Structure 1
Amino acid sequence: MKNGMKKTAAVVMAAMLMGTGAVIPAAEDMGIFSQTAIVAEAASVGKVTGLKSKTLSNSEIQLNWSKVKGASGYTVYMRKNGKYNKLGDCKGTSYTVKKLPNATRENFKVRAYKTVKGKKVYGKYSANWNTATNPQACKGLKVSSVGTDSVKLSWTKIGCTNYRIYQNIKGKWKEIGKTTGTSYTVKKLAPATKYQFKIRACKQDDKKTNNNHYGKYSGVVTATTKKSDKITQADIDVMKKELQEYSNSKAEYVNTHYTEFWTYGEEYNTLDEYYQLCINESSPDTSSYDDVYTIPFTEKNIDNITRMFKEQLKYEYEKREKAYYVVYVEICPNGHRINPKPCWAIYFLY
């Protein structure tokens, strides 16, 4: 009779603790239900909180969580086919899951347990934690085609959410775009210019977050855009710089007597300062010039035009020994009085 009363009391207590979420051993595993201490211990196992992760590689994820007071250990679970399956036990608050496929999303839960008389008594499951492994490194990156202002890149497909494209800009790698495909065209580039690119794959935890995991960078590819079939503003800028340097070298009298000149009421200490003051202060409205030369927007050969202008500068210096010529370029999108079509107007100011 006494044993029957003890069993009844234990069953009642177990029923009262069902709502706590504690997981207790089955009655047949407990032996005599007088072991109410086990039931009481089950009620005191706390729920795991603070579950987070760190993706270590394309095959390993490290889980971390907050310590549960009084816990003997923890059991880690991973979802597969809609169910959470046990991965293993650990004593501490960290567990590394290994041998995972690359670029895959995984879901985990953890719960604490106490060991009472050789039995594991569990607390509630933690909240679900979703994360992903890194993709593998991108391979096969190559330059598929090159235009005057664009470069098309392509690579081998791997498992990931998307690919990120990077360009070396002034010595620093900058992300310039992303795509879910295996090719990308970089646009708005300058003609006849060398560029460097690389890519890496990205895997997102799930569709609702922006927590990204990246694979290693691919190798670097280099591409040089084609020379434009017509003159560009960049060509004009290079020509102007070359002509100005040529003009400075031909200004023999100024190079030896520059200290005798006083430029626009400003002081200067070196020949370079003198030249810069002249350039800064010169315009067709403030200086003299013999003629205006124009370069149509449709012109194609900047090299021939540059050679022609050098000959003209040489001739001008022979006419005016003490002169210094400033190369002034004016863009005329609506045309110039001596050329009604869009052009660049070139002045040799002195």
Structure 2
Amino acid sequence: MKNGMKKTAAVVMAAMLMGTGAVVPAAENMGIFSQTAIVAEAASVGKVTGLKSKTLSNSEIQLNWSKVKGASGYTVYMRKNGKYNKLGDCKGTSYTVKKLPNATRENFKVRAYKTVKGKKVYGKYSANWNTATNPQACKGLKVSSVGTDSVKLSWTKIGCTNYRIYQNIKGEWKEIGKTTGTSYTVKKLAPATKYQFKIRACKQDDKKTNNNHYGKYSGVVTATTKKSDKITQADIDAMKAELTAYSRNKAEYIKEHYTEFWKYGIDYNTLEEYFVMLENKLVPDESSYDAVYAIPYTQKGLADTIALYKRKLDYLYETRGDVYYVVYIEDCPNGHLVNSNPCWATYFLY
């Protein structure tokens, strides 16, 4: 009768302590006092807290958590098919999960245990922890097409959430965009300019967090944008300034005779003053000119076009004594026959 009462009391105590979350092993023919001791030990196993992780590679994740006082060890679990399955035991507060697929999200839990009379007595599970492995390195990055102001990149598909695109800007790699596809067009680039790009894959832990895991960078690709066939106002201004200066230097007639213009009621203190007058006042609509030469803008660019004009100026100044100054450059006027468009016309004043 006394033994029956003791067993009843032990069962009641066990039931009360199990309500605290401790897991109690079966008695397995143990004495009532041993069973009571195990139940008491179970109640003192704390819950694991502070579970975090560090992704080591595209196949390994290291879990870390806070130490539970008095624990003999810890058991690590990973969810699969909706159920948490045991991965293994460890004595410390760190465990590395290996041989995982790359770019996959995983969920983990950990709980502490005490070893009592050769049996493991567990505390409560930790909160679950969601993390992911890194993607593999991106492969197959290439330049698909090049425009005057854009470069299209493409690469081989791998498992990841998205791809991040990087550009070398003044010696520093900066992220310039992202995409879920396997191509990306970089826009708003300058014509005839060399650029460098690389990419890497990104895997997010889940859709609600911004905790990202990255694969290794791809190789670097280089692309040079095409030369623009458009003539801008800046091109025209630069050409006019350079050819005007070049023409000034060749205008020997003006240099020799500008001081004689006082006979015509025109007086200038310096040669520079007279040149300014020509540039500001003597345009084709307001003065006489005896020739208009149209030379097309070449595909080799502004510098090559200017060189063509200079060769023409050299010839004209050497063969004609009455032509002394080039003062005006503009888009080719209507009626001038040229082989390509657009072009510029040069007026020779006399």
TM-score range, shorter chain: 0.7 to 0.9
- The equivalent residue for 1:276 is none
Q: 1:101 deviation in Å?
A: 0.4
Q: How many angstroms apart in 1 are the aligned matches of 2:209 and 2:239? A: 51
Rate the CA distance shift 1:141–1:33 in 2: closer, same or farther, 3 A: same
2:81 maps to 1:70: no
2:66 maps to 1:61: no
| TM-score normalised per structure 1 | 0.73
2:216 maps to 1:223: no
- The equivalent residue for 1:190 is 190
Rate the CA distance shift 1:13–1:289 in 2: closer, same or farther, 3 A: farther
Q: How many angstroms apart in 2 are the aligned matches of 1:120 and 1:247? A: 94
1:321-345 superposed Cα distances (whole Å, 9 cap, x missing partner): xxxxxx9x9xx9xx9xx99xx9999
- The equivalent residue for 1:17 is 17
Paired residues in the alignment total 299
What code does the residue aligned with 1:181 have? G
Q: 1:149 deviation in Å?
A: 1.4
Q: 1:312 deviation in Å?
A: 8.6
- The equivalent residue for 1:51 is 51
Rate the CA distance shift 1:75–1:178 in 2: closer, same or farther, 3 A: same
Rate the CA distance shift 1:245–1:123 in 2: closer, same or farther, 3 A: farther
What code does the residue aligned with 2:238 have? K
Q: How many angstroms apart in 1 are the aligned matches of 2:344 and 2:186? A: 29
Give SS of 1:219's match: coil
2:80 maps to 1:80: yes
Rate the CA distance shift 1:233–1:225 in 2: closer, same or farther, 3 A: farther
Give SS of 1:306's match: helix
- The equivalent residue for 2:255 is none
State the superposition RMSD in angstroms. 4.1
- The equivalent residue for 1:94 is 94
What code does the residue aligned with 2:127 have? A
Rate the CA distance shift 1:102–1:241 in 2: closer, same or farther, 3 A: farther
Q: 1:288 deviation in Å?
A: 5.9
Rate the CA distance shift 1:244–1:229 in 2: closer, same or farther, 3 A: closer
Rate the CA distance shift 1:141–1:246 in 2: closer, same or farther, 3 A: farther
Q: 1:175 deviation in Å?
A: 0.7
Q: 1:133 deviation in Å?
A: 0.2
What code does the residue aligned with 2:10 have? A
User: Would you identify which runs of 4 or more consecutive aligned residues in structure 1 move more than 6 Å?
Assistant: 312-315, 342-346
Q: How many angstroms apart in 2 are the aligned matches of 1:124 and 1:174? A: 45
What code does the residue aligned with 2:115 have? T
- The equivalent residue for 2:145 is 145
Q: 1:31 deviation in Å?
A: 1.8
Q: 1:33 deviation in Å?
A: 2.8
Which residues of structure 1 form unaligned runs of 5+? 253-283, 293-297, 319-326
Q: How many angstroms apart in 1 are the aligned matches of 2:96 and 2:3? A: 47
- The equivalent residue for 2:131 is 131
- Asked if the contact 1:230–1:299 (Cα under 8 Å) also holds between the matched residues in 2, the reply is no
Q: How many angstroms apart in 1 are the aligned matches of 2:345 and 2:92? A: 77
Q: How many angstroms apart in 1 are the aligned matches of 2:166 and 2:11? A: 66
- Asked if the contact 2:243–2:310 (Cα under 8 Å) also holds between the matched residues in 1, the reply is no
| TM-score normalised per structure 2 | 0.73
Q: 1:27 deviation in Å?
A: 3.1
- The equivalent residue for 1:160 is 160
Q: 1:305 deviation in Å?
A: 3.8
Q: How many angstroms apart in 1 are the aligned matches of 2:226 and 2:48? A: 61
- Asked if the contact 1:243–1:306 (Cα under 8 Å) also holds between the matched residues in 2, the reply is no
232, 238, 241: which one pairs with 1:240? 238
